[in-house]
Amino acid sequence: MINREQYAPGPASGAQIQKDGEKWTLIVVRELRHPPEKVWRALTDPAHLREWAPFDADGNLGTAGNTVKLTTVNAPALNVSEAKVKRADAPKLLEYTWGEHDMRWELEARGDGTRLTLWTNIGRPFIAMGAAGWHICLDVLDRLLLGTPIGRIAGGEAMKFHGWRRLTAEYAKQFHSEAAAWPANTPKS
């Protein structure tokens, strides 16, 4: 069993980018050992989101038409945005806005587990950091669903974990991009 102090992100994997005009989309795929219904609850229920996601939600994201306030956690400044749930086809497809970002989650049953795919638009300079951030969030989600939670690791806090720079550099190399400038207090690892 791994605890929070022992956690280090694994190698960069399961992510790709697409460009459509000037719009960039980060696509992250993760195989989870949990059924879609369980993953769906973790993606939509505010209590579950509070354990792994990079934001807090003041309502459930699982109903199309809902408007929910999302508050980014561990960010340099308070950032609250309204999310509009565009589609919620439990337990297969979830689409909503997060500020200026379009979020699309697809859940595909695979045996006893789920292939989870996230599509999100993101600024080109932040693609590698975004991939690293979602990589870590999905690691935390997997452990939460396994019943061995290590606690949310998001935003500036994620950058303090051993392996953050390595993971971001690996994604930058994979995407043929430069990582955004490092905050001064980010440890070298």
CB atoms within 10 A of CB 127: 24
User: Rounded to the nearest 5 degrees, what angle is found at the Cα of 56, between the Cα atoms of 159 and 61?
Assistant: 125
Question: Which residue is listed with tokens 């459930």?
Answer: 60
* Helices and strands, number each (H, E), in the chain: 4, 8
Decide: pTM greater than 0.75.
Answer: yes
CB atoms within 10 A of CB 151: 13
Q: Where are the domains of the chain?
A: 9-174
Name the phi and psi angles at 175, rounded to 5: -95, 0
Of 25, 41, 45, which Cα lies nearest the Cα of 121?
Answer: 25
Q: What would the pLDDT profile of 113-126 be if each residue is shown by its tens digit?
A: 999 999 999 999 99
Q: What would the pLDDT profile of 24-49 be if each residue is shown by its tens digit?
A: 999 999 999 999 999 999 999 999 99
What's the confidence (pLDDT) of residue 121?
95
CATH fold of 9-174 reads Alpha-D-Glucose-1,6-Bisphosphate; Chain A, domain 4 (3.30.530)
Confidence of residue 184 (pLDDT cuts 50, 70, 90): very low
Mean pLDDT (whole number) for 60-80 = 93
The answer for residues whose C-beta is within 8 angstroms of residue 70's C-beta and 6 or more apart is 55, 56, 57, 58, 80, 81, 82, 83, 98, 99
